[in-house]
Structure 1
Amino acid sequence: MTAKAAKPLTDSVSLATVAQETGVSVATVSRIVNGKNGRASADTVARVEEAIARLGYRPNPVGRALKRRASRVVAMLAPNLDNPAMAAIAVSTEAALRDAGYVMILCDTHDRADLQDDYLQAMRDQFVAGYVMVSAVASAGLADVLARGDPVVFVARRNPLGGGAYVGIDNRQAGADAADHLLAQGIRRPAVLMATQNASSTAERAEGFIRQLVAHGVPEAEIRQASAPGLSHIEIGYAAAKSLEESFGWPDGALCVSDMIAYGAYRRATEAGIAIPERCALVGIDGNAINFWIAPWLTSIRIPYESFGRHIVAQLASAWGGSATVDINVAHEPLPGAAATILRA
C-alpha cells in the first residue's frame, strides 16, 4: 500500500479531520487520543496514530479542560505582595483552594495595568480554571477576560470595569466607624491621609469617614485631607503626613485609609516630635497581624482576611456551576465607640 503524502501541519486539523482520513468515527478517534483503546482493533489504533502523526493533530487542551473540568489551577493576581494585607488574602485563599482540591498560582501585578495583562495572558496560556483579582486595575486584558465570560472574582477592590463577583468589606462603613471612634475620643480636628491615585476601596473609606463626621456636625471645610502619589503605601503615608504638617499643622486625630499609610505617617510624626497617639491618634484600616509587634500605637479596624478564602472559593464555585453571583460583604470588626454594624460574614 502506498503511503499517503504528508499534509502540512495546520491549526485546523481536528478529530473530525483524523476520522475522515482513517474512515472511523470521531468517537473512536477521541478514545484513541485519550488512551482508551480497548474497543478498537490494533489495526485501527495503528491507522489512527499514523494519521495523527502525519496530519499534525494536536489535542485542544483548553477544550479538553473545559469539557472534563480537568484544570485544577486558579490564578490569583494581586498588587504589592509586601503589603501584609495582600499576603493575608493570598494565604487565606491558597488554603481554601487547596482544601477544595485546587492549586493556586500567585502573581504580583505591582498595581500596573501592563503587568496585570501580561499575567492574565500567561495564566490563560496555562489554561487556569479561574482568576482571583485582588485590587484589580482597569486594563485591556481584563476587559477580554470579562468578555469571554471567564470565571473571575474581584477581591478588596470592586471590578474597575463594573459588575462581577466581589468579596470584601463595606469600605464606607469602615470609614464611618473610624469617624465614630475618633469622635468618641473627643477629637474635633480630624484629618484623612490617602493616596493621590485613590483606588475605589480606599476612596470609599475616606468618603464614609468624611460623610460620618459631617453628619455629626463637623464642618467639611475643617476636615483636613492630605494625599501623595505613588504605589507604596508606607511612602504615601510619610509624604501625605508631611504635606498635612506643612499645610495645616498636625491634627489631633486622623484616619489612614490603610495600616501601611499609618506606618508612614508615624515615621514622619516621630521625626517631627509628635507623640503618637498622645498628640495625634491614628486610626488605620486592615488590622495587620504585625501591629501587635511593631505598631502598638495604632488603633486599626481589623478586616478578617482569614475568612476571605472560603468566600472566594464559593464565588468561583458559583461561576463554575453557571449560577449567578452576588457581592459578599465580610464583616469587619468595629472599634470602641463605633456603631457595631455587622454585615454578612
Structure 2
Amino acid sequence: MTTIADVAKEANVSVATVSRVLNNQDLVRPETAERVYDAIEKLSYKPNILARNFRKNESRVILILAPNITNPYYSHILTGIGDVANEIEYSALIFNTGDDPKSEKKGMEMLKKKRADGAILLASSLGCDWLLEYAQEYPVVQCSEYDDKVDISHVAIDNYKAAQDVMEYLIDLGHKRIATISSQNNYISTSLRLKGYKDTLHKHGIKNPNDYIVFSTGDYSFKSGKRAAAQLLQLKSRPTAIFCISDRVALGAISQAKEMGVRVPEDLTIIGFDDVEDTMMFHPYITTVAQPCYEIGRRAAYMLYGQMTKQKITQKELLLKHELIIRESSAPIGKRD
C-alpha cells in the first residue's frame, strides 16, 4: 500500500510538504504542489481520512437527531441536509430518538465524544433549555421545531401565520363550524397552529364548542387521525370543516369520513399540513399547507456549517415561506349538494 512517504520520495519533497498540500495550506509553491499531485496520481495514493481528521480533532460528521424517520415529512428535510453534507464533504449520521428525551440526550453526547462536529435537531420540544449545555460548546441548529425562549439557531416556517391562512381560507368559503385535530406532542409548531386556529376564530367572532378541538397522537399517526375524526363526526352539531395538524392525520380523517358515509368535500372540508407526497395518492387530493422541507434541511445544514467553520453568526432565526395549496378536499358551503 502506498504511503505518504512514497509520495514524498516520488515528488522529491519532504513528508511535511505532502501533508501541507493535502491539507490545502498555502505554504507550498504552485510548482511544488503540482509535483505532489502528479505523484499522488501516479502512485494512486489515498490519504487516511480518519487519521487526518483525528489529528485535526474533527470527525467530518454531521449528527442529525430525528424523532421518527418513517414520517414522510422528514424525508425531504433529511435529503436537503444530506445534499449539503455531501457538498461540503461531510458525512451525515441519523440518530433516531423515537421522540424520547433520554435518547435525544444520548445522541447529543456524541458531540462530547468527538464522534460528530455538530448537530441538527429535527424535533426539539418546548422547554429544551438543557440543550444550551451543548449549544454553548458545540455547533447546534434546530430544524422545524425549537423553543423561542432558548437561544439556539433555528430554521422553520411561520406556523402561526400558516394556521391563520388556513382559517381565513375556510371562513372565506363560508365555514363557521370549523374543528381542528391537533397533536398531543409539545412542539412549538403544534402550539402555534392551535393558537392561529383560535385567534382567527376569535377575530371573526366565531364561537365553537370546546369539543371541536381534538388530538391525534404525538407522532401524527394515520390511525389517530381516524379516531379523532370519528370523535368530531359523532357530534350532534358536527363541523363542516376540519383543519388537521398534518397530512397523515388528514388522510386518516378522510378515511374515517368515508367509512361513516360523509363525503369529502361535499359534506365535509378537510385540510392538512406539510404537503407530503401521500396527499395526491388518491382522490380527493388534499388541500394543505406546503412546507419547503428540502430547503429547510439545506438552510439548517448551511447554518450549522457556518458555526463549524467559525463564521460570524448574523441570523439565528430563519423562517421560510409556506404556501396554501388548494386541491379537492375543500369546497365552499354554497356549492354543496
What corresponds to 2:8 in structure 1?
none
Name the amino acid aligned to 2:321.
Answer: A
In the TM superposition, residue 156 of structure 1 has moved relative to its aligned partner by 0.8
Report if aligned partners of 1:189, 1:222 keep a CA contact under 8 Å in 2: no
In the TM superposition, residue 301 of structure 1 has moved relative to its aligned partner by 0.9
Q: What secondary structure does 2:281 align onto?
A: helix
Name the amino acid aligned to 1:317.
Answer: Y
Against the structure 1 CA distance between its residues 246 and 197, is the aligned structure 2 distance closer, same or farther, given a 3 Å change threshold?
A: farther
Confirm whether residue 327 of structure 1 aligns to residue 312 of structure 2: no
Report how many residues are paired. Answer: 277
Range moving further from structure 2, 310-319 or 202-211 = 310-319
What corresponds to 1:244 in structure 2?
232
Paired with 1:252 and 1:220, the residues of 2 have a C-alpha distance of 12
Q: What secondary structure does 2:161 align onto?
A: helix
Against the structure 1 CA distance between its residues 136 and 66, is the aligned structure 2 distance closer, same or farther, given a 3 Å change threshold?
A: farther
What corresponds to 1:142 in structure 2?
131
In the TM superposition, residue 77 of structure 1 has moved relative to its aligned partner by 0.6
What are the equivalent positions in structure 2 for 1:61-80 lying under 5 Å apart? 68=56, 70-80=58-68
In the TM superposition, residue 283 of structure 1 has moved relative to its aligned partner by 0.8
The normalised TM-score by structure 2 is 0.73
What corresponds to 2:171 in structure 1?
183
In the TM superposition, residue 297 of structure 1 has moved relative to its aligned partner by 3.5
Q: What secondary structure does 1:334 align onto?
A: strand
Confirm whether residue 217 of structure 1 aligns to residue 220 of structure 2: no
In the TM superposition, residue 173 of structure 1 has moved relative to its aligned partner by 0.6
Q: What secondary structure does 1:285 align onto?
A: coil
In the TM superposition, residue 198 of structure 1 has moved relative to its aligned partner by 4.2
Deviations 1:150-199 (A, max 9, x none): 11110111148712111110000110011012112221210110113342
Name the amino acid aligned to 2:99.
Answer: D
Name the amino acid aligned to 2:324.
Answer: P
Name the amino acid aligned to 1:279.
Answer: D
Against the structure 1 CA distance between its residues 127 and 295, is the aligned structure 2 distance closer, same or farther, given a 3 Å change threshold?
A: farther
Gapped regions of structure 2 (runs ≥ 5): 1-14, 19-51, 327-337
Deviations 1:216-253 (A, max 9, x none): 23225478211144534323312221222344553111
What corresponds to 2:142 in structure 1?
154
Paired with 2:130 and 2:93, the residues of 1 have a C-alpha distance of 18
Report if aligned partners of 1:89, 1:308 keep a CA contact under 8 Å in 2: yes
Q: What secondary structure does 1:132 align onto?
A: strand
Gapped regions of structure 1 (runs ≥ 5): 1-34, 39-63, 337-345
Paired with 1:126 and 1:234, the residues of 2 have a C-alpha distance of 39
Name the amino acid aligned to 1:114.
Answer: K
Paired with 2:229 and 2:141, the residues of 1 have a C-alpha distance of 34
In the TM superposition, residue 213 of structure 1 has moved relative to its aligned partner by 2.5
What are the equivalent positions in structure 2 for 1:1-345 lying under 5 Å apart? 68=56, 70-122=58-110, 124-137=112-125, 142-146=131-135, 148-159=136-147, 162-219=150-207, 221=209, 224-247=212-235, 249-294=237-282, 296-320=284-308, 321-324=310-313, 325-335=315-325
Paired with 2:100 and 2:274, the residues of 1 have a C-alpha distance of 22
Q: What secondary structure does 1:187 align onto?
A: coil
Report if aligned partners of 1:234, 1:264 keep a CA contact under 8 Å in 2: yes
In the TM superposition, residue 306 of structure 1 has moved relative to its aligned partner by 1.7
In the TM superposition, residue 141 of structure 1 has moved relative to its aligned partner by 6.6
Q: What secondary structure does 1:115 align onto?
A: helix
Report if aligned partners of 1:277, 1:298 keep a CA contact under 8 Å in 2: no
Report if aligned partners of 1:113, 1:139 keep a CA contact under 8 Å in 2: no
Paired with 1:228 and 1:262, the residues of 2 have a C-alpha distance of 10
What corresponds to 1:20 in structure 2?
none
Against the structure 1 CA distance between its residues 191 and 125, is the aligned structure 2 distance closer, same or farther, given a 3 Å change threshold?
A: same
Against the structure 1 CA distance between its residues 298 and 244, is the aligned structure 2 distance closer, same or farther, given a 3 Å change threshold?
A: same
Paired with 1:279 and 1:236, the residues of 2 have a C-alpha distance of 21
Report if aligned partners of 2:120, 2:301 keep a CA contact under 8 Å in 1: no
Q: Which 4+ runs in 1 deviate beyond 3 A?
A: 35-38, 64-70, 137-144, 220-223, 228-232, 246-250, 294-297
The structure number with the bigger radius of gyration is 1
Q: What secondary structure does 2:219 align onto?
A: coil
Paired with 2:223 and 2:79, the residues of 1 have a C-alpha distance of 25
Q: What secondary structure does 2:214 align onto?
A: strand
Report if aligned partners of 1:81, 1:108 keep a CA contact under 8 Å in 2: yes
Name the amino acid aligned to 2:106.
Answer: D
Paired with 1:229 and 1:313, the residues of 2 have a C-alpha distance of 29
Name the amino acid aligned to 1:94.
Answer: G
Report if aligned partners of 2:84, 2:302 keep a CA contact under 8 Å in 1: no
